[in-house]
Chain A
């Protein structure tokens, strides 16, 4: 057993729902107890969809367990087909139904429905949401994709976007535009918006663009092996990755036209003098593997931050993430325990956190600026406005996203200058939190056995609150390493000089 308050991922059948909800003309019959319909509201509320997810639940109750739950599943399948007339169906079991072992696949096959019925194996006690999505899409592709003649105009498929995906909607639009500018066209986007008939013609493309390895890699591997479709390995988030992606795409398809970079603003914004203060800002990055790695690359190579922590919650991406962390000289953090993430953040004392909804709340508690770069996210990160992460517009969005939570350069300079003024004094806290802000140093670990002389303490309070925690920690570490039991003003500045970058 594992004690959990917060989970980064739902169970695998939620991943299957993300694929089913993304598609058209597909229906999911899920063997599940009463109550599992809660997952519908993730789609209707967080993603704000205006239609129910195409999922029929058997909703068995205790009194059904003695009787025939298999019959319940049989009739649910029959009714769902009769009512929704899907082009194909997927069937599976949620965690409780997995225990009662009714075999949804076998039952559905025996019904002999006039459409393909695809059974799913979703091991709820070992795997999670992203696995569920990846596996579901793989099974759909295996069942429906066929060898078909290549389209005349060279084209690619966009693979991996799902319902409830972080910025998937806008990434599709941005990539479609970018790919169009290279002279290619998009054959099928899947699972997002695809029908079963579209899955059948995936093979008409000349290659696949793997947008999100978490939810599309297995299908891409299968298509590479069975349909001869190569797929891209670079996820085009950030300027460098987008350029690399375009090169990779050109090699894969022979279409080498370079898209117009006229609308790309990140490089100039990052080069402009106002961005100078961003140099070496310490950032902690956590999220799903794909987004965490992409954000770390942008942070270091395109904005000039220093990455002081890198981790992901999905162990499927542990290997590439570990390699990247080594490249940054960091020990990687692969965990789905949010308390471990919080500890790592405290230890690293970053000036900016890039993470999920959970890290946003940790950051709020610690008074550290933060931006959301990965699922899981709340409703506000399914915005009405166009906000991709991929391609050139995505790079522009990322610049704004990563930089906004930090005070603008001039603002920071003024803060330091006016720090004794009533608006900016220590206890005021971040102005956007009003009088409810936590004391700026709450939550910082206190070193034991080292005391601060009053003058040093007073000097420390002149340091702006958003870097004070780091200054305190550095000074105490410095003093501790030298066996000092007291910190005076001298020690403070010695430490500052020692850690100066």
Chain B
């Protein structure tokens, strides 16, 4: 593992450009779109406006027609008049919802900008509804509003809201926090089993009744970089968080597993035996997919907080050069191990003033730009190749077996530009 240890220079102390202004980002409500699939017995009820419903519809695309387990209680004029009314209305909507969906075991009341500005107390509503409909139904609340959260921070707020309600355990165990696609979760489980690291708790658990407890014996590993509040909430419950690079690419996955192996006293021979084959596979797959990426420059506009770990993967394993790495929020402590691995050079920016950031982007003209769907086509029309960022949150991209696919997601737009023989009409 020594070849991964690079104490030299890194970006840990690099200056960060902090900007405020117009932000071209999603709000935290978007997290519902993938979270509800991970928790099949949960329902997410947004208390918000028609805008919130419209956003979910736009973000969920075709999924909206499959009876998804999320909906919006749209505030109407009468709800804005008096607070008491709104709480009663909410009870009525929840009762109607539960009559339609009696299979629901967990209900999340999700706060929005409008519900927060009118100071609708969803925490109180959750406690009241838990008392009314419990114990078969657990009701929790969190905020996914744009005024509080950016995109993936919605998942952070949701998981953090679950932590205080987790049962207490003194057992020494590993908890992995962050929603992963099932296929990736199973691979991770296989690796941890192979290393003999047990027992394992997952946050979020697939079902309300699945054992997921926390306590002073709990060691937490995060699989997503956007879980700052969840991390703090777990620490408040006495758990200890292991900061490591995030499991993207061959190197990231190995370092992530190695940090856990050290913590749980796994013998180096066993580590080698379990990881050697998938590591070699991942290296081969990345090498193949990354051919189109080698020597190319890349910029990230802020979106998901995945930007730093992905820039680390693309620069170190795929031979790209980062120009600017923008992130909505930079958690220094949690991303320290990532910053250590990142070669100095790129502009690190936190927050956004989109027009100024686009000025920098147009001046730098990177070979590939990672950005949201509102910007992707306009930038393509300006001749810049783009990779839309949301796909990186939905697709299986973590751990060894997905490393090649992850590189492929970035290579495809460049290969496509090379393949298309037509100049777009002016």
Interface positions of A (Cβ within 8 A of B): 1-7, 9-11, 13-14, 33-42, 44-45, 48-52, 56-62, 64-65, 76, 79, 83, 94-96, 99-100, 124-126, 128, 358, 361, 378
Pair B29/A3 contact, Cβ less than 8 Å: no
The residue in A50, A56, A96, A126 that gathers the most chain B C-beta atoms within 10 A of its C-beta is A96
The complex places the Cα of A101 from the Cα of B297 at a distance, in Å, of 45
Given known contacts A7-B54, A44-B378, A76-B22, is B372 in contact with A33 (CB within 8 Å)? no
A50 to B21, CA, bound (A): 23
B185 in contact (CB, < 8 A): no
B128 to chain A, nearest CB (A): 16
Asked if B284 CB lies within 8 Å of chain A CBs, one says no
Contact across chains for B25 and A1 when beta carbons are under 8 A apart: no
> Which residue in B148, B373, B380 is a CB contact (below 8 Å) of A41?
B373
A175 to chain B, nearest CB (A): 24
Contact among A50, A99, A126 with B377 in the assembled complex (CB-CB below 8 Å): A50
Are A99 and B24 interface neighbours, CB within 8 A?
A: no
Question: Given A1-B73, A128-B50, A44 and B355 touching (CB < 8 A)?
Answer: no
Which of these, A58, A76, A125, contacts B76 with CB under 8 Å?
A125
Q: Is the CB of A35 within 8 A of B80?
A: no
Q: Verify A124–B117 contact, CB threshold 8 A.
A: no
B27 proximity list for chain A (CB < 8 A): 33-36, 38
Instruction: Report how far A13 CA is from B50 CA in the complex, Å.
Output: 11
Among the 9-residue stretches B57-65, B245-253, B315-323, the one with 4 or more Cβ atoms under 8 Å from chain A is: B57-65
B71 within 8 A of A: yes
The reply on B79 being an interface residue by CB < 8 A is yes
Interface of A is mostly: mixed
A50 touches B74 (CB 8 A): no
Asked if A1 contacts B93 (CB within 8 A), the reply is yes
Residue of B nearest to A123 (CB): B77
Contact A44 B76 (CB under 8 A): no
Docked pose: A99 CA to B25 CA in angstroms = 22
A99 lies within 8 A of B73 (CB): no
What are 26 A-B contacts with C-beta separation under 8 Å? Answer: A1-B75, A2-B74, A3-B93, A3-B97, A4-B50, A5-B70, A6-B64, A7-B54, A11-B50, A14-B54, A34-B27, A34-B146, A41-B58, A50-B377, A51-B378, A52-B374, A56-B22, A59-B23, A60-B147, A62-B147, A65-B117, A65-B147, A79-B21, A83-B355, A95-B51, A128-B50
Of A1, A13, A36, A361, which contacts B86 at CB under 8 A?
A1
**B364 on the interface (CB 8 Å rule)?**
no
B130, CB-defined interface residue at 8 Å:
no
| Residue in B49, B114, B374, B375 whose Cβ sees the most chain A Cβ within 10 Å | B374
Q: Which of A37, A61, A96 contacts B374 (CB 8 A)?
A: A37
Select the residue from B25, B49, B97, B375 with max chain A CB neighbours within 10 A.
B49
B interface residues (Cβ-Cβ under 8 A, vs A): 21-30, 47, 49-51, 53-55, 57-59, 62, 64-65, 67-68, 70-77, 79-80, 86, 89-90, 92-93, 96-97, 113-114, 116-118, 145-148, 150, 355, 372-378, 380-381
Tell me which of B54, B68, B93, B375 contacts A52 (CB under 8 A).
B375
Contact A1 B90 (CB under 8 A): yes
The answer to whether A34 and B150 touch (CB under 8 A), given A44-B378, A52-B374, is yes
| Distance in angstroms between the alpha carbons of A378 and B113 in the assembled complex | 27
CA distance in complex: A40, B58 (Å): 11
Other 7 A-B pairs with CB < 8 A, given A2-B73, A10-B50: A6-B65, A14-B54, A34-B150, A38-B59, A49-B377, A95-B49, A100-B117
Q: Which residues of B contact A124 (CB under 8 A)?
A: 49-51
**Contact A58 B22, beta carbon cutoff 8 Å:** yes
Nearest chain A residue, comparing its CB with the CB of B49: A95
> With a CB–CB cut-off of 8 A, which chain B residues contact A51?
378, 381
B residues near A4, Cβ cutoff 8 Å: 50, 53, 71-74
Q: Which residues of A contact B93 (CB under 8 A)?
A: 1, 3
Give A8 Cβ to nearest chain B Cβ, in Å: 10
CA A100 – CA B114 in complex, angstroms? 10
Judge whether A125 and B77 touch: CB under 8 Å: yes
A2 touches B76 (CB 8 A): yes
Which of A14, A35, A95 has most chain B Cβ within 10 Å? A35
B71–A61 touching, CB < 8 Å = no
Given contacts A41-B373, A96-B113, contact A33 B50 (CB under 8 A): no
Q: Give complex CA distance A52, B25 in Å.
A: 14
With a CB–CB cut-off of 8 A, which chain B residues contact A34? Answer: 23, 25, 27, 146-147, 150
Inter-chain contacts of A94 with B (CB < 8 A): 51
Contact of B378 among A6, A10, A50, A60 (CB under 8 A): A50
With known contacts A1-B86, A35-B113, A99-B114, A361–B65 Cβ distance under 8 A: yes
In the complex, what distance in Å separates the CA atom of A37 from the CA atom of B146? 10
One of A3, A11, A48, A60 near B54 (C-beta < 8 A): A11
Distance of A58 Cα from B90 Cα, bound (Å): 30
Task: Kindly identify which residue among A41, A44, A50, A95 contacts B50, using a CB–CB cutoff of 8 Å.
Answer: A95
* Neighbour of A11 across the interface among B22, B51, B71, B145, CB < 8 A: B51
- Inter-chain CA distance A126–B74, complex, in Å, is 11
Q: How far is the CB of B391 from chain A (nearest CB, A)?
A: 13
Give the chain A neighbours of B374 by CB distance below 8 A.
37-38, 40-41, 44, 52
Residue of chain B at shortest CB distance from A50: B381
Q: Are A38 and B55 in contact (CB under 8 A)?
A: yes
Q: When chains A and B are docked, how far (Å) is the Cα of A106 from the Cα of B358?
A: 30
CB nearest to A43 among chain B residues: B374
- CB-nearest residue of chain A to B151: A35
Q: A5-B71, A44-B375 are in contact. Are A57 and B22 (CB under 8 A)?
A: yes
On whether the beta carbons of B114 and A95 are closer than 8 Å, the reply is yes
Inter-chain contact A62/B74, CB cutoff 8 Å: no
Q: How far is the CB of B63 from chain A (nearest CB, A)?
A: 10
Task: Please report the C-alpha to C-alpha distance between residue A458 and residue B68 in the assembled complex, in whole angstroms.
Answer: 37
Give the 4 A-B residue pairs with the shortest CB-CB distance, closest first: A35-B27, A35-B146, A50-B381, A40-B374
